[in-house]
Structure 1
Amino acid sequence: MTAPLPPEMTGPSAWYGPDMLAREQEWILPLSPAHVAEVEQAARAALAQGIDIARIGKADFPLPTLGPVLAEALEELLTGRGFVLFRGLPVDDWPIELSAAAFVGIGRHLGNPKSQNGKGHILGHVRDLGLASNDPNVRIYQTRERQTFHTDSCDVVGLLCLKAAKSGGHSALVSSMTIYNEIHRRRPDLLPHLLRPVATDRRGEVSPGQKPFFEIPVFSVHDGLISVIYQRQYINSAQRFEDAPRLSPETVEALDLFDALADDPALNFTMVLRPGDLQFVHNHTILHDRTGFEDWEEDTKKRHLLRLWLAPESARALPPAYAQRYGSVTPGERGGIILPETRLHAPLTPI
């Protein structure tokens, strides 16, 4: 007997892009002058005390009025629509060190920062480094190419926009719960192929004893919830390994439908991130994308975002298979990329 498919997902995490775009007043939260003042005060105090930016803790960063707002935002991230945008940090007037400290301090009110690569960067720099994604050891955020819809290896990903591109480079979101529902309705015969493990390339960041790929289903059902992990380019590039399970024609068809639905403007929507915007996204229920972009010639004007990978202690339970990628499934501890040589730090320049 074939096991019944998990039912469609209901609730606020299963949304459609055009409707969400029409309700932007619900998810764009302007920072008040009082919020900005207390963030700046906390950031300057932490730096004056000589606290390493990578080790700024929640207790080091008191936010008496913004803190409760962030707590509400975290609940919305984890159990609601799955994303929020704060607007109004004056990053144009701040040195990079102050912006970085402010971002990490705000992030610590949402979760524990995790390493985003084998170098131990808890503060990532999203900038075109002149690389190309056809190099299997390059991650797409280091290029100016479109990223395509994907998840990151953490519970919550945060971005702080410092500089916008000359054109393009916009942020796009789509509900992976809505994608699941649409496949359930249109092609339920393909869903089982997305509920089985699939090989995904680690892109060269491999710890001793690990395979160069992990095997986790696109859709994982656990504790009554569906969680998603997905990066199609890395699924495709994992096929370069002889011991990676081959993709069946049915699995390829299921992945193609997944991509087509993610790319459908009836499901997704695009937002323009301005300097000073902070976007936070729940990876388990949302996929994010970035459009390709044309950058400025002047180095000081080039598109530049800071990124955090966060592990909230109140995050959902995840299936054991996620430990292949997250190292652990314990909320607050899981996620990120840790190699034997990894030492956590917060670089202030893209390296």
Structure 2
Amino acid sequence: MPVAHAGMVHHINTAPVGLRKKYLDGEKGGAPPKPRREFTPSNHLDSVLSSVVIPGPDIEWNPSFETYQARVEALSKTNSSRPKTVPEAWPQVVDAPWAWSTKDFEDESKFIVFLNEEEIAEVNRALDFFNGLPGKLGPGEVSRETFPLPNLQKKLQGVARNLHLGFGFNVIRGLEPQRYTPLDNVIIYLGITSYIAEHRGVQDSGGSMIIHVKDLGRQIPHSEMRQSPYARNAQPFHNDVCDILAMYVQQQAAEGGESYLAAGATVYNEIAATRPDVIHTLADTSWVFDKHRTPAYWNNRAILFNFSGYGPGFCFSRRPITGSPTSPRSPGVPPMTEVQAEALDMVHFTAVKHQISMRLQRGDIQLINNLAVFHARNGFRDKIGEQRHIIRLWLRNEELAWKTPEGLKRTWFEKYGESERRKIAKWNIEPGASRERVIYRSDSCS
């Protein structure tokens, strides 16, 4: 059950320190190196600090390999009673198509699904059909019935099967978003993905059904501490809170912004073979997820689940666990243990070892089985005419979806059920967000 505690809060003015200072100053912390933000620190958004943050392990949101190695070495000298096998009923090895590594995708044609001229023409006819329906239908009414793709649907259903039963990700290539209005781009995106995963998730407490992933630093004054969807910093490996993650690229960055993917089953297999005790730690339900509220509020759950019929899969992001430069841990929230910190960084650096990298093109739709595949992002730089812009959807295929484990059911209801968030659902067609949303710490992939 969630636990709530209050802490004394007072106002002071100070320059950023610790992880926040490292983040803003561009200090690197281990492999692989990733670009950091390079703007001047501003303290007006971080002027509310507290003296009651409970100390915890030395661990960063964007992990330090040196810190991780030092912790592994230190713990090896103190823990002599580690479990020698994985938990009961958990597999020693996941032998499935979604257990892959870097070498398996040296040829990108294995995961790219190309749309030919006739298929693009069919998409355009479906758009015309939708726009010609009586009643001026909105984005929420895009479906297989209102966006008919009689020929392309077979290819898209093949993508759906691969996401759930195959290696777990695809890129659909061939669209040219510059040919369409912003609204038509959203309609096309929803129409195509309705054949892959028809149920759309709510992505924040404001009811947003789509999120525009774009650096808003130039548009939102005094937003140096903005959250990652609206910034240009690198992001470590994580999962969102959805079954299928979809990303439709409207424009590339001038430099950087590469997408990294890693197979959760491969991460599990390596850790199970070398450190089975860490599997116990990852599957334990005592992980603390900071909800970034006042007074302090958090929930506890595992970050690794044994999905019925599919085996182990991860679901977590680091920010609610470690805190981050833009979202420091809240006063009064219990920290993780040293053993948990070792396990968390082990997952990240094992994923780095087996990752693939791709630079998505304008018009690409990247689709990921979020429960089978980790994702991360390189930092990027924009310039006039080349400003990275991606439209994000959280999707679910009710027929093919992996069965939601008990520890995620509450969150899944919030995203996919008839929750309070869905009652205020809205479709933001143009990029942009309020300053409050850009710096809001409570909504997270947790």
2:100 maps to: 15
The Cα shift of 1:213 comes to: 3.6
1:127 maps to: 214
8 Å CA contact retained: 1:157, 1:309: yes
2:74 maps to: none
Determine helix, strand or coil for the equivalent of 1:317.
coil
The Cα shift of 1:346 comes to: 4.0
Are residues 236 and 76 of structure 1, via their aligned partners in 2, closer, same or farther at CA, if it must alter by over 3 Å?
same
**Partners in 2 of 1:171 and 1:236 — Cα distance?**
22
1:280 to 2:367 alignment: yes
The Cα shift of 1:199 comes to: 2.1
8 Å CA contact retained: 1:144, 1:293: yes
2:439 maps to: none
1:231 to 2:317 alignment: yes
Determine helix, strand or coil for the equivalent of 1:58.
coil
Determine helix, strand or coil for the equivalent of 1:104.
helix
8 Å CA contact retained: 1:158, 1:307: yes
Are residues 244 and 89 of structure 1, via their aligned partners in 2, closer, same or farther at CA, if it must alter by over 3 Å?
same
1:261 to 2:346 alignment: no
Equivalent runs, 1:3-152 vs 2, <5 Å: 3-4=87-88, 6-7=90-91, 8-20=93-105, 22-49=106-133, 50-111=136-197, 112-130=199-217, 135=225, 138-152=226-240
Equivalent runs, 1:193-232 vs 2, <5 Å: 193-197=281-285, 198-202=287-291, 212-224=297-309, 225-232=311-318
**Partners in 2 of 1:280 and 1:302 — Cα distance?**
21
Give the partner amino acid of 1:127: K
If the length of structure 1 is used for normalisation, what is the TM-score? Answer: 0.87
**Partners in 1 of 2:292 and 2:247 — Cα distance?**
22
If the length of structure 2 is used for normalisation, what is the TM-score? Answer: 0.70
Q: Deviations over 1:27-67 (max 9, x none)?
A: 11110111111112212322333210132122111101111
Determine helix, strand or coil for the equivalent of 1:149.
strand
Calculate percent identity across the aligned residue pairs: 26
The Cα shift of 1:10 comes to: 1.0
The Cα shift of 1:152 comes to: 0.9
**Partners in 2 of 1:134 and 1:163 — Cα distance?**
23
Determine helix, strand or coil for the equivalent of 1:190.
helix
Query: CA RMSD of the aligned region, Å?
Result: 2.7
**Partners in 1 of 2:369 and 2:223 — Cα distance?**
25
8 Å CA contact retained: 1:325, 1:335: no
Q: Deviations over 1:278-329 (max 9, x none)?
A: 1100011001111100111x2x53111111110111201121110232126x
**Partners in 2 of 1:215 and 1:185 — Cα distance?**
27
Determine helix, strand or coil for the equivalent of 1:287.
strand
The Cα shift of 1:96 comes to: 1.6
Give the partner amino acid of 2:247: L
8 Å CA contact retained: 1:154, 1:336: no
8 Å CA contact retained: 1:100, 1:348: no
Aligned residues: 336
Are residues 19 and 340 of structure 1, via their aligned partners in 2, closer, same or farther at CA, if it must alter by over 3 Å?
closer
**Partners in 2 of 1:186 and 1:134 — Cα distance?**
41
Are residues 77 and 168 of structure 1, via their aligned partners in 2, closer, same or farther at CA, if it must alter by over 3 Å?
same
1:157 to 2:245 alignment: yes
8 Å CA contact retained: 1:200, 1:231: no
1:349 maps to: 431
8 Å CA contact retained: 1:201, 1:213: yes
The Cα shift of 1:17 comes to: 1.8
